[in-house]
Chains A and B, each alone.
Chain A
């Protein structure tokens, strides 16, 4: 009885048919990794990658029959609409949209960045619903969570958000873009998903945590050692791939496999931090940026180096990672 249930229900988890994906924000390191993974999967028929500027070197070698790179200004509604009208997708239209194009760098964050971030999310989502896209995935950030001494040991999806009026504009815009997605989560045809990843370490990515680790040296406050559960570029790409290939919608945390104090992760990589008194942290960071020894912005998430933020991704684990094997077994190649 149980076996019958498993065999009938398990395949239903995987979205039927080949995938034709639109990936915006293709210049991000995570996008390059994700595209490489997706192109290895025979179930992925075609990928349209979009960003401002030239195609990154990491994407140049892909099979041109399955991969296209295009330029577009995502804050322009017309240009976003045009992405769904390419001749290559006339017969077999796009069925999945992955929105990675969020400019979170607080340096020079102005109205144009705000418009780009929020309007891109709005235009892309509107167009996705109009063109009957089956799945829309927005990659958010763990920066949306409020961090402080009242922190929970694990932060679940319904935890308090960082709605502090003093929080950086980039964080407020991520929350804004998330809310646009959440307002459409009950759509019948399109599965709208928001993924909140933990900080990524390694792979040259532009995450706050990785920029801290790449600093020379990382400057931390004396007497604080927050708990974190960072992920890697490879793991994050795999998690997004699972989210794209399986059925499911809603809001999910995604994190690394282990949790521990920040100092342990630094130790493992042989990095010796410099400790300064907490009140001097921002000034020390500013000075370090000035002399070109870091790209990390302590202002972006000022409390992250003081208080723990461990994401609880139990829901994602149960809904997606637990069935990862099923995805690898299925498909034309097997």
Chain B
């Protein structure tokens, strides 16, 4: 029986991008992965697929990469939506593609993912780790970019009526950023909210299945699992200036609330920039079509 050849996926990458994958430095813990379980093969194959999605499927337009630190640790914080977390995949791929040397955003992932066969192992091999305090500390201490969705996994099931409305942010990211003295880089993703139209969320069923949400969309469950796949909407990703968190958040709950709101406002600002960029993009495309 012929064996699977996941390495062939890399042929999706142009030569220059393959070189970038090879240039990514991973600290080997002795068995070909880093201590978090991230493997160069996993990253290479995942980037090959993500690159294809980034360039040809979601056709990502992004700006503000100069705000992302080139070598030091930072917390990357943004909005979350779209039923399946393609927004996280696109942010990771975008940062990897536009930073020199390439950097990987390692997202803090909800625990339920690691209970699922294959998915948890896959996420880990791609550098995405369970969202615990110790994991955060370890990643920051080793100088990584740590991605956090402070709206939580519930935001993936955001109904269509709440598009581009931010859920309340959890407080952990500002406290941890202040404790380690690292900046928070806010970003906004526009497009993910339209990749699925969520009609409602079956909360009782979600609770029974121990999942954050069970969505009813225009295509799910009517078309089975295929109904969860995203529409090929164009993504607009904007990164804002790094925010230095007031160390007072470690001592005052008011200061913490204030800083969380500051980060939330910064993310909202990047979303507005993305929405504006999309309007301009559509208008420009319309002008080109109208012109003889």
Q: Mark A272-284, 1 if CB is under 8 A from B, else 0.
A: 0000011000000
How many chain A residues have a CB neighbour from B under 8 Å? 28
Query: Taking the complex as formed, is B291 at the interface, i.e. its CB lies under 8 A from any CB of chain A?
Result: no
Known: A149-B114, A153-B35, A153-B134. A223 touches B121 (CB 8 A): yes
B111 at the interface (CB under 8 A from A): yes
The answer, yes or no, to whether B117 is at the interface (CB within 8 Å) is: yes
Q: 0/1 per residue, B129-150, Cβ < 8 Å to A?
A: 1101011001000000000000
B33 interface residue (CB < 8 Å to A): yes
A151 adjacent to B130 (CB under 8 Å): yes
Beyond A149-B111, A151-B132, A224-B120, is A261–B36 a contact (Cβ under 8 Å)?
A: no
Mark the stretch among A83-91, A128-136, A243-251, A252-260 that contacts chain B. A252-260
Q: Assess whether B117 is in contact with A150, with CB atoms less than 8 Å apart.
A: no
Complex partner residue of B132 from A150, A222, A224, A265, CB under 8 angstroms? A150
Say yes or no: A260 contacts B30, CB within 8 Å. yes
- In A164-223, the 8 Å CB interface with B consists of 221-223
> Which residues of chain B are near A153, meaning CB under 8 Å?
35-37, 129, 134-135, 138
Tell me the complex Cα distance, A156–B133, Å: 13
Which A residues touch B130, using CB under 8 A? Answer: 149-152
Tell whether A154 pairs with B30 under 8 Å between CB atoms, given A222-B117, A224-B117, A259-B35. no
* Min CB gap B221→A, angstroms: 23
Distance (whole angstroms) from the CB of A259 to the closest CB of chain B? 4
User: Is A308 positioned at the interface, with any CB of B under 8 Å from its CB?
Assistant: yes
Which residues of the other chain, A, contact B33 by a CB distance below 8 angstroms? 227, 259-261, 264
Contacts of B281 in A (CB 8 A): none
Distance (whole angstroms) from the CB of B143 to the closest CB of chain A: 15
Q: Is A126 an interface residue (CB 8 A)?
A: no
**Contact in complex: B31, A265 (CB < 8 Å):** yes
Interface assignment of A225: CB less than 8 Å from any CB of chain B: yes
User: Closest Cβ of chain A: how far from B163's Cβ, in Å?
Assistant: 31
A310: CB under 8 A from chain B? yes
Shortest Cβ distance from B131 into A: residue: A150
| Tally of B interface residues using CB under 8 Å | 26
Instruction: Specify the chain A residue showing the minimal Cβ separation from B121.
Output: A225
Q: Is B5 located at the chain interface by the 8 A CB criterion?
A: no
For chain A, residues 253 to 310, give those with C-beta under 8 angstroms from any C-beta of chain B: 257-261, 264-265, 277-278, 307-308, 310
Q: Which of A150, A221, A224, A310 contacts B35 (CB 8 A)?
A: A310
Chain B residues with Cβ below 8 Å from A154 are 35, 134, 138
Collect the chain A residues with CB atoms within 8 Å of residue B64's CB.
Answer: none
Is A308 a contact partner of B37 (Cβ separation < 8 A)?
A: yes
B117 A221 Cβ-Cβ under 8 A: yes
Interface string of B100-126 (1 = CB under 8 A from A): 000000000001111111111100100
Closest partner residue, chain B, to A257 (CB atom): B30
A165 to chain B, nearest CB (A): 20
Within 8 A of B (CB), among A75-111: none
Does B135 lie within 8 Å of A259, measured CB to CB?
no
Q: How far is the CB of B174 from chain A (nearest CB, A)?
A: 21
Quick one: which of A148, A221, A223, A261 contacts B31, CB cutoff 8 A? Answer: A261
Residues of B within 8 A of A258 (CB): 29-31
Provide the residues of chain B in CB contact with A257, threshold 8 Å.
30
List, in ascending order, chain A residues with CB within 8 A of B32's CB.
260, 264
Q: A149-B111, A222-B117, A307-B114 are in contact. Are A259 and B134 (CB under 8 A)?
A: no
- A contact residues around B132 at 8 Å (CB): 150-152
Q: CB within 8 A of A278: which of B30, B117, B121, B124? A: B117
Bound CA span A223–B120, Å: 8
Please judge, given known A-B contacts A260-B32, A264-B32, whether A152 and B37 are in contact too, CB under 8 Å.
Answer: no
Chain A residues, Cβ within 8 Å of B29:
229, 258-260
A225→B125 CA distance, assembly (Å): 10
Q: Provide the residues of chain A in CB contact with B138, threshold 8 Å.
A: 152-154
Q: Which residue of A lies closest to B110 (CB)?
A: A149
Cβ–Cβ contact B115 & A149, under 8 A: yes
Inter-chain CA distance A259–B124, complex, in Å, is 14
Of A148, A152, A154, A277, which is in contact with the most chain B CB atoms at under 10 Å from its CB?
Answer: A152
A173 to chain B, nearest CB (A): 27
Q: Which residues of A contact B120 (CB under 8 A)?
A: 149, 223-224
Contacts of B119 in A (CB 8 A): 223
- Residues of chain B lying within 8 A (CB to CB) of residue A225: 121
Name B134's contact: one of A156, A222, A224 (CB within 8 Å): A156
Q: Is the CB of A227 within 8 A of B117?
A: no
**B138: nearest chain-A partner, CB-CB:** A153
Contact A152 B135 (CB under 8 A): yes
Q: State the CA gap A90–B57 with chains docked (Å).
A: 82
Closest A residue by C-beta to B129: A153
Cα A159 to Cα B133 in complex, Å, equals 11
Cβ–Cβ < 8 Å partners of A259 in chain B: 29-31, 33, 35
Q: Which residues of A39-58 have CB atoms within 8 Å of chain B's CB atoms? A: none
Q: Can you report 15 residue pairs joining A to B where beta carbons are below 8 Å apart?
A: A149-B112, A149-B114, A149-B115, A151-B130, A152-B135, A153-B134, A153-B138, A156-B134, A223-B121, A227-B35, A227-B37, A260-B29, A261-B33, A261-B37, A264-B33
* Given A149-B113, A149-B120, A223-B118; 9 other pairs, CB 8 A cutoff: A149-B114, A152-B130, A153-B35, A153-B129, A257-B30, A259-B30, A259-B33, A260-B31, A264-B33
Q: Which residues of A contact B (CB under 8 A)?
A: 148-154, 156, 159, 221-225, 227, 229, 257-261, 264-265, 277-278, 307-308, 310
* 8 cross-chain pairs, A with B, having the tightest CB-CB distances, nearest first: A260-B31, A223-B117, A258-B30, A149-B114, A152-B134, A223-B118, A259-B29, A264-B31
